[in-house]
Chain A
Amino acid sequence: MNRQVVTRGHIDDEVAAIIAATDDDVFRRGVRDWLASALQRLAGSTDWRTRAIRRDFRLEFETYLCRAGFSALGWPRRYGGHALDLARQAVFLEEHSRIEAPLPVNMIGHGIVAPTLLAHGSEEQKERFLPGLLDNGTIWCQGYSEPSTGSDLASLSTRATRCEGGYRVNGQKIWTSFADVAHRCFCLVRTGDAGSRHRGITVLLVDMKSPGITVTPIRQITGDADYCAVFFDDVFVPDTDRLGEENAGWSIAMAAAGFERGTYFIPRIVRLRSELEQIVRLAARTPRGDARAIDDPRIRLEIGELLNDCTALRALADDMLRRTARNETPGAEGSVVKLLWSEAHQRLYQLGMEILGTDAILGPGEECAPRHGAVQFQFLWTRAETILAGTSEIMRNIIAERGLGLPR
């Protein structure tokens, strides 16, 4: 069982040395310097911060990181990972956020698919799919929501019918982030009777190039089109692309949701503090009458509340990481982290908009706006965060029912 299943290709010598560092400070400084020079190299003469919200640059930087060796930090070695402990992974995230490196695009792949495959995939599937995550060659999307299926996920109706060697899939997914650039879809389909709810769901890892798939980008309130409608018209999916048993998809989806609400949100919590620092810098540079926005007691008060939340959420995230390391499945705590983080993140950019004053009228990405309209962008985007991956209302139900044992 201990054979090497996935072999990682050659990685950057400098990265290999940083990963191998025995001293924590050497590791941190190594990551910091490497990220700075990598960003400079990629952005050329422009400031990378002005491009950090652009999708092409996000993807370019993410792939650059992965190919140099900064991927699969926590995976076991026999799957090509670095088997770094959680403290080291947290250091990497801290440095990544300190320098305001662009957020990854393949978050579904690295944050959700990878841990789910490692836990539930066959060895053949791990061998086939993990290399594409190591080098970011395979971008993943997640086919969950449907036009009539939002919070009530067990009501989904995209149907997979048995055929020779696999399934024929018909139906529609919606709000599927990055489906237009994705190579694979982690997709939930109905294989049981129409009324079978969670007992009749199967996970398929659908090749997005399959004949019969149509992807239509949907414009969001930010003006961008990062998510899509995905139409399945008699799409063939081979048996080998089924994850787990037929009709056993619900428990895999719940495990994936556990990863999503747990480890997936940790990088965002780590990032919260440097985002708050950015907002403080903005407030220090923004005039308000004869003074600056940072001198406004109301703004200072809200900065204080957010600062407290940053510290407390970080303690909660660290606690969560320790539990994950002990192989405890994140339960209601994952929902607590998701709920508190998404609401704090919204408050952060509500504050940002207040600091902007009349410049709040300018649109996201507008070059003449402070920080190129990044605050407006985030203000709008954070509205999504209390909706996606389980709405705040669903989080509260889970917390009350599973955390406190209240009646359904």
Chain B
Amino acid sequence: MTLLGDAGESILREPCRRALIDAEPHAELTGAKSTADAIAARHWSMACELGWTSILLDERDGGIGLGLDELVALSEEIGAHLFCGPWLASAVLAPGLLALSRSRAQDFEWPGTGAAISLAVPRPLPDSTGATRYLGEHPDLASHYLLIDETSEPWGVSCRLLAATDVRLLSRPTALDPTCPVAELVPAADGLGERIETFGDDAARLLRPVHLAIAAELNGVCAAILERAVAWVGERKQFGRPVGSFQGVKHRLADAYANFTKALACARAAAGSDDPYDAQVARVIASEAAARAGRDYIQHLGGAGISWEYDAHLYLKRAVRLNAIPPVAGTLSRVNTDRFIACIDV
């Protein structure tokens, strides 16, 4: 069963799927020793070699210049097969920032398609001196960090790109998601890196591919969860019957499948929509579908679900990590609601 469907209109899906299946890290990750850094290094060089990191980038910048449909197809496969690496900042957000900075004649030192640009998100509480500490992904791999700050009034996004040599790593905390190691970091000095800020509709347009990529990756995660859960409950027997024949199990999976179907249609439609805010909706819908399916998957597996050696936790943790990347579903939903209400003539 492939819930993500066959190649369809995407030229990337089939070759990417094959490469990702060959590179699946499940066994290594559920083994005794965590080896995420080695897996990420392997995955990342594969992604660079196959040109995945430059699909959104303009041809004049050495990219392939493919559309959002291909981004969605590739991101779905990335989620389904637990790809490890700084995909989101390098391949999705950085090209958008480059285009935006150009349109404003603002400096943005584009590090090129080979760079490993890691996303770095702010922690909620500053340190004792009042400085913001960031959590940066894949510190072993990062050549750069893209530091994200959220602005509240007006709502928007603020980013800085720093070379890895321009940040100070404070610690290597344990990461929730074993496929994504993190470091705690701060900029090495004040005033490093050009700040690019954008608000309102412009922010929605800049972040559109990011939300689509996250939504699609979550949908990939959700598809993998459903396929694995269905296989498990079809085989596992209790009371002389497959547990999947009990309605308590069946209906929970039916709900997960309904939500997945909705999320998949929503993200794929948003990739072709005229309204950049549809991508925000797609992310909100996908975040709920994947997180719930991930929690349920553990329930379906029973004792195996709460054991490290089975893969259920890998998917739940990935969904939780993706859902924590700002702006989060709650913020997006609020922004969309305010906009909707303001548009209605009451």
A residues engaging B (CB < 8 A)? 277, 280-281, 284-285, 294, 300-301, 303-305, 307-309, 311-313, 315-316, 318-319, 332-333, 336, 339-340, 393, 395-397, 399-401, 403-408
Which chain A residue shows the least CB distance to B229? A404
Report if A300-B337 is in contact (Cβ < 8 Å); known contacts: A281-B344, A319-B269, A400-B257.
Answer: yes
B72 to chain A minimum Cβ distance, whole angstroms, is 13
17 A/B residue pairs, CB under 8 Å, sorted by A: A280-B344, A281-B344, A284-B344, A300-B341, A303-B337, A305-B333, A307-B281, A308-B281, A308-B333, A309-B285, A312-B265, A312-B266, A316-B266, A336-B261, A404-B1, A404-B253, A405-B230
Q: Are B230 and A284 in contact (CB under 8 A)?
A: no
Q: Are B230 and A404 in contact (CB under 8 A)?
A: yes
What 10 pairs between A and B have smallest CB-CB spacing?
Answer: A315-B269, A284-B346, A396-B254, A304-B337, A399-B254, A312-B266, A400-B250, A304-B333, A407-B245, A400-B254
Q: Are A280 and B340 in contact (CB under 8 A)?
A: yes
Contact indicator per residue, chain B 248-270, by CB within 8 Å of chain A (1) or not (0): 01110111011001110110111
A393 to B251, CA, bound (A): 8
B341: chain A residues at CB < 8 Å are 280, 284, 294, 300, 303
Asked if B51 is an interface residue, CB under 8 A from chain A, the answer is: no
A132 to B282, CA, bound (A): 43
Asked if B226 is an interface residue, CB under 8 A from chain A, the answer is: yes
A101 to chain B minimum Cβ distance, whole angstroms, is 19
Asked if B284 is an interface residue, CB under 8 A from chain A, the answer is: yes
A332 to B284, CA, bound (A): 24
A313: chain B residues at CB < 8 Å are 262
Report if A316-B262 is in contact (Cβ < 8 Å); known contacts: A281-B344, A400-B257.
Answer: yes
Q: Are B254 and A285 in contact (CB under 8 A)?
A: no
B253: chain A residues at CB < 8 Å are 400, 404, 406
B residues 42-89 touching A (CB-CB < 8 Å): none
Q: Are B244 and A403 in contact (CB under 8 A)?
A: no
Question: What is the predominant secondary structure among interface residues of chain A facing chain B?
Answer: helix
Which one of A285, A308, A313, A407 has the highest number of Cβ atoms from chain B below 10 Å of its Cβ?
A: A308
A77 to B114, CA, bound (A): 58
Q: Which of these, A319, A403, A407, A408, contacts B265 with CB under 8 Å?
A: A319
Q: Are B285 and A308 in contact (CB under 8 A)?
A: yes
Asked if B242 is an interface residue, CB under 8 A from chain A, the answer is: yes
Q: Are A307 and B336 in contact (CB under 8 A)?
A: yes
A301: chain B residues at CB < 8 Å are 333, 337
Asked if B15 is an interface residue, CB under 8 A from chain A, the answer is: no
A401: chain B residues at CB < 8 Å are 250
B282: chain A residues at CB < 8 Å are 312
B262: chain A residues at CB < 8 Å are 312-313, 315-316, 336, 340
Asked if B233 is an interface residue, CB under 8 A from chain A, the answer is: yes
Q: Are B244 and A407 in contact (CB under 8 A)?
A: yes
A333 to B258, CA, bound (A): 8
A316 to B268, CA, bound (A): 10
A397 to B249, CA, bound (A): 11
Which chain B residue shows the least CB distance to A404? B230
Which one of A285, A336, A404 has the highest number of Cβ atoms from chain B below 10 Å of its Cβ?
A: A404
15 further interface pairs, Cβ-Cβ under 8 Å (given A304-B336, A312-B265, A313-B262): A280-B346, A284-B346, A301-B333, A308-B284, A308-B333, A309-B285, A312-B263, A312-B285, A316-B265, A395-B254, A396-B247, A396-B251, A399-B254, A400-B244, A404-B257
B261: chain A residues at CB < 8 Å are 316, 333, 336, 403
Q: Are B245 and A408 in contact (CB under 8 A)?
A: yes
B270: chain A residues at CB < 8 Å are 315
Report if A307-B266 is in contact (Cβ < 8 Å); known contacts: A336-B257, A397-B247, A406-B234.
Answer: no
B333: chain A residues at CB < 8 Å are 301, 304-305, 308
